[in-house]
Amino acid sequence: MKCRRPSSREALRGYTLIELLVVMAIITLLAGLMLPAVTHAIVVVQEFKTKNTIQRLEVALAAFHKDWNVFPPSNAAHGGATIPNILNPTGSNYLAYYLIGPTGRGWGAPVGSPNYDGPFGKSDGSQTWGPYYTAETSGIVDGFNPAMAIFYCRAEPNEATVLNVTDNGVVDSFAPPDKNYYSQTAFELLVRPGLTSNATRPWVRRDYVLISAGADRRWGYVKKTSSGDYQAVVTIDADSTCDDIANFTY
């Protein structure tokens, strides 16, 4: 049997415009179906990295407490030191300063300055401490993109405001929140578990709190308005959401 060989014109025939459009449509459809799964996988990885960072910080804080019998202060009013080149340090700034040290090498003799012998004053210069934590960046941030500082606040049990949102810096005066909690009341919805209002909530029993803003990059409970914007809430309802990651259950 003699096989027919295709002509030169048939051999050179390419795809038609309609065929190309069909292929592009299929590729676009498949990409659209895969995008949510890929996005979810990325968020899961970021959440895991953030939880791991918080666990590492807990270990570092336990080691710091073992050496100094106190957790690092989270504001100037309770002993926070003057941090070079930072005008209004936040709780996260103090956390990095005390756990990592002023030069990133911990505390003690290798620092080479009498002002930096120890986190709370001079030592005999013969001992070193830390660094208790090693950061991948210049500060202590979470694993999301864009990265944000992990909120740190030391509890002050003898004061009316046991955990103070202002340790995270200046509180936002507008909604939606961008960097900080909208108000002390909104913050307390997170650290007073159990009820939908903060009026009779017991405090989370922690010596300190560590909180990431989560994947939505907004602190605390928020809800979407009719215009699609996020708005901070001071009373939790069915439309309120919060994806913050913390060292406690809220």
Could you report the per-residue pLDDT of 194-245, keeping only the tens digit for each? 655 555 667 788 899 999 999 988 888 888 878 877 788 888 888 888 999 9
In this prediction, residue 128 has a pLDDT band, given cuts at 50, 70 and 90, of confident
Paired tokens of 248 = 């406690």
Q: Does some domain include residue 12?
A: no
Q: Residue 8: inside a domain, yes or no?
A: no
pTM given for the model: 0.79
Q: Is the Cβ–Cβ distance between 220 and 182 less than 8 Å?
A: yes
> Is 26 a member of any domain?
yes
Is residue 6, in this structure, part of any structural domain at all? Answer: no
Instruction: Tell me which residue of 111, 85, 50 sits closest to 246, measured CA to CA.
Output: 50
pLDDT at residue 187, as a whole number: 87
Q: Are 210 and 57 in contact (CB under 8 A)?
A: yes
In a domain, 104, yes or no: yes
AA identity, residue 138: S
Q: Are 232 and 221 in contact (CB under 8 A)?
A: yes
196, part of any domain: yes
Evaluate whether residue 4 is within a structural domain: no
For 109, phi and psi rounded to 5 degrees? -55, -40
**Domain encompassing residue 175:** 18-246
Domain assignment present for residue 186? The answer is: yes
| Helices and strands in the chain: count of H runs, count of E runs | 4, 7
**Total domain count for the chain?**
1
